[in-house]
Amino acid sequence: MATGIADSAAGAPAGQNVLGDALKDAFFAGLITLGLIGPLVGFQTVAIDTGAGSVLGLAYRPVTVAIMVGIVFIGRLILNLTIWSPNRVAKTRSGPTVFDRIGTAAGPAVKPLLLAFAIGFPFLATLMMGGMTQARYLLDVGILILTYVMLGWGLNIVVGLAGLLDLGYVAFYAVGAYTYALLATSEPVTHFFGGLLGETFWANWAFWICLPVAGLFAGLWGMILGFPVLRLRGDYLAIVTLAFGEIIRLVLINWVDFTGGGAGIASIPRATFFGIPFTAGEDGFAARFGLEFSPMHRIIFLYFVILALALITAFATVRLRKLPVGRAWEALREDEIACRSLGINTTNVKLSAFATGAMFGGFAGCFFAVRAGFVSPESFTFDISAMILAIVVLGGMGSQIGVAVAAAVMMGGMEALRNLDFLKQVFGQDFDPALYRMLIFGFAMVSIMVWKPRGLVSTREPTIFLKERKAVSGDLVKEGHG
């Protein structure tokens, strides 16, 4: 927290009492840290049972505070004497980073490799873990990561390309999920198709019919919500989208008759192999294809479904960037006024970006509902929006490969936190690393902004060229009209 707080020493002329200044600076940093964490970490409010009911009392943690202050003091001291030392010649800003090169020059090699890995992942996981059932956890993580890759790519259209900060993206994810959940479990719809096309038709085909419907419906919502707000300035737009996201979530909670309220909707029909259910029976997937029944077939299939959906998102984005609408998105991010001077109806351009992004969010939401078999408003909090946004920002706004890597790192990292059981040996049995997930996440978001505001891949790929495709340096690319 306290890094960078008091860099008074940094401005001192070289050679003058470096150690003294460094010590003084580190001392103040430590003191500030003590002030920051002292009250909240040093004292813990605990419920004390007095027999006549519990009363709030205090527990003390001086050691933890001392350790944390010590870390800041020593860390700051070391940094002052090394990286921030006044004797050190400051390095000027370097060119494209390693990640930039991965995203551009090495791009042709990296992209097929990543794709091949993504396709081969279920088989690799099965081989590695020694069986499909054992690979279940890895596959679940893979599905989770791919879902966020897709959401990241969807939001990337809005934030990365068009430069519109959307803090309510989760709303469209929710619209997609609830569209499927409500349609698939709806009595009248089931009856209607039951009478028309046979009893099992709707249960078997609901997902495949609802998938496009969910996407289109989310896109429509994107337009409805987008229309009034897209005239607004960047930060106001962000706040209004946040408000809309929250309104949708609160309505989902409170409109109990329609949405099931906070309890959500359960027993949503599972995904089928294009109409063939993954059941053990005669009509099931395994029997039809002469395989031995395994519940893992469905998981592996789900993995490929989300992979395909994510790839469609990526492919559509790549195509759209080369079309006038995509170029207009990027032009809008660069300079809205110049766009209008060229006859571009910026409201329509914004709306199209908003709706396209929302549509992919809706697809992802529909997938979420079919995978989990259960939806509730709790899955669509602001934290999810923030997480998707962080993925886009960390990846480098506008960069597809960066967003994919960021999603893998962030979601993979968060999953890994759950499994750090050895930390319990260090910090005691009460220590739950998963609790720190969002804490670390928030910290990461601030750190990215401070140290690398343009994300992992900051260069931009031109959409058209005459002779030679040259990546555009991130310093020239603007990030939204804000």
Partner 1 sequence: MATSPLSAATHRWEADPILTVEHLFMRFGGLVAVNDLSFNVGRGDITALIGPNGAGKTTVFNCITGFYKPSEGRLALAHNRAPTPDELATVTAIGERALVGTDAAVYLLERMPDYRVSGEAKVARTFQNIRLFTGMTVLENLMVAQHNALMTASGFSLKGLFGLPGWNSAARAATEKAKFWLEKVELLDRADDPAGDLPYGAQRRLEIARAMCSDPILLCLDEPAAGLNPRESLELNTLLRMIRAEHGTSILLIEHDMSVVMEISDHVVVLDYGTKIADGTPEAVRNDPRVIAAYLGVDEDAVEEVEAEIDEIEAQSGATS
Partner 2 sequence: MDIFVQQLINGLTLGSIYGLIAIGYTMVFGIIGMVNFAHGDVFMVSAFIALICFLLVTTVFGITSIFLALAIVLVVAMFFTSLTNWAIERVAYRPLRGSFRLAPMISAIGMSILLSNFVQVAQGPRNKPVPPMVTDVIVLMENDGYQVTLAWKQIIIMVLTAVLLGGFWYLVQKTSLGRAQRAVEQDRKMAALLGINVDHTISLTFVIGAALAAVAGVMYLMYYGVANFADGFVPGVKAFTAAVLGGIGSLPGAVLGGLLIGLIEVFWSAYFSIEYKDVAAFSILAITLIFLPQGLLGRPEVEKV
Q: Which residues bind partner 1 (CB under 8 A)?
A: 316, 319-320, 322-325, 327-328, 330-331, 333-335, 337-346, 352, 460, 462-470, 472-473, 476-478
Residue 12's binding partner out of partner 1, partner 2, none, with CB under 5 to 8 Å set by partner kind: none
Structure tokens at 212: 């496009």
138 and 131 Cβ atoms separated by less than 8 Å: no
Minimum distance of partner 2 from residue 389's CB (angstroms): 7
Residue 78's binding partner out of partner 1, partner 2, none, with CB under 5 to 8 Å set by partner kind: none
Q: Which residues pair with 45 in a beta bridge?
A: 58
Minimum distance of partner 1 from residue 326's CB (angstroms): 8
Minimum distance of partner 2 from residue 348's CB (angstroms): 18
Q: 3-class SS at 164?
A: coil
Residue 293 is a binding residue for partner 2 (CB under 8 A): no
- DSSP assignment of 360-423, as one string? HHHHHHHHHHHHHS-B-GGGG-HHHHHHHHHHHHHH-TT-HHHHHHHHHHHHHHHHHHHT-THH
Minimum distance of partner 1 from residue 341's CB (angstroms): 5
Nearer to partner 1, 381 or 473 (CB): 473
Nearer to partner 1, 49 or 475 (CB): 475
Residue 223 is a binding residue for partner 2 (CB under 8 A): no
Minimum distance of partner 2 from residue 165's CB (angstroms): 5
Residue 399, CA distances (Å) to 100, 395, 442 in order: 10, 7, 22
What span, in angstroms and rounded, lies between the C-alpha atoms of 57 and 37? 19
Task: Candidates 16, 44, 267, 347: give the one binding partner 2 (CB under 8 A).
Answer: 44
Nearer to partner 2, 124 or 243 (CB): 243
Task: Candidates 201, 205, 301, 382: give the one binding partner 2 (CB under 8 A).
Answer: 382
What span, in angstroms and rounded, lies between the C-alpha atoms of 453 and 340? 28
Residue 223's binding partner out of partner 2, partner 1, none, with CB under 5 to 8 Å set by partner kind: none
Residue 122, CA distances (Å) to 134, 138, 200, 301, 412 in order: 11, 8, 30, 10, 16
Residue 370's binding partner out of partner 2, partner 1, none, with CB under 5 to 8 Å set by partner kind: none
Minimum distance of partner 1 from residue 356's CB (angstroms): 9
Task: Candidates 21, 25, 100, 246: give the one binding partner 2 (CB under 8 A).
Answer: 246
Minimum distance of partner 2 from residue 237's CB (angstroms): 8
Minimum distance of partner 1 from residue 323's CB (angstroms): 4
Minimum distance of partner 2 from residue 235's CB (angstroms): 5
Residue 388, CA distances (Å) to 15, 72, 154, 357, 475 in order: 47, 31, 9, 12, 24
Q: Hey, which residues between 396 and 435 contact partner 2 (CB under 8 A)?
A: 435
Minimum distance of partner 2 from residue 111's CB (angstroms): 27
Residue 229 is a binding residue for partner 2 (CB under 8 A): yes
What span, in angstroms and rounded, lies between the C-alpha atoms of 202 and 196? 10
Sign of torsion, CA 184 383 158 400?
Answer: negative
- DSSP assignment of 420-467, as one string? -THHHHHH-TT--GGGGHHHHHHHHHHHHHHH-TT-S---B--S--SS
Nearer to partner 2, 45 or 134 (CB): 45
Residue 413's binding partner out of partner 2, partner 1, none, with CB under 5 to 8 Å set by partner kind: none
Q: 3-class SS at 49?
A: strand
Residue 262 is a binding residue for partner 2 (CB under 8 A): no
Residue 374 CA to its chain's centroid (Å)? 21
Minimum distance of partner 1 from residue 366's CB (angstroms): 21
309 and 271 Cβ atoms separated by less than 8 Å: no
Q: Which candidate, 368, 474, 335, places its Cα nearest to that of 150?
A: 368
Q: Which candidate, 355, 189, 180, places its Cα nearest to that of 271?
A: 180
Residue 236's binding partner out of partner 2, partner 1, none, with CB under 5 to 8 Å set by partner kind: partner 2
Nearer to partner 1, 342 or 439 (CB): 342
Phi, psi of 294 (to 5 degrees): -145, 135
Task: Candidates 146, 174, 286, 389: give the one binding partner 2 (CB under 8 A).
Answer: 389
477 and 460 Cβ atoms separated by less than 8 Å: yes
Minimum distance of partner 2 from residue 321's CB (angstroms): 20
Residue 476's binding partner out of partner 2, partner 1, none, with CB under 5 to 8 Å set by partner kind: partner 1
Residue 127 is a binding residue for partner 2 (CB under 8 A): no
Could you say which DSSP state residue 263 is in?
G
Residue 166 is a binding residue for partner 2 (CB under 8 A): no
Structure tokens at 393: 């920002």
Structure tokens at 375: 């939806």
Nearer to partner 1, 223 or 344 (CB): 344
Q: Footprint of partner 2 on this chain (CB under 8 A)?
A: 1-5, 32, 35-41, 43-47, 55-58, 165, 167, 228-229, 231-236, 238-240, 242-244, 246-247, 250-251, 254, 337, 382-383, 386, 389-390, 393, 435-436, 438-439, 441-446, 448-450, 453, 478-480, 482
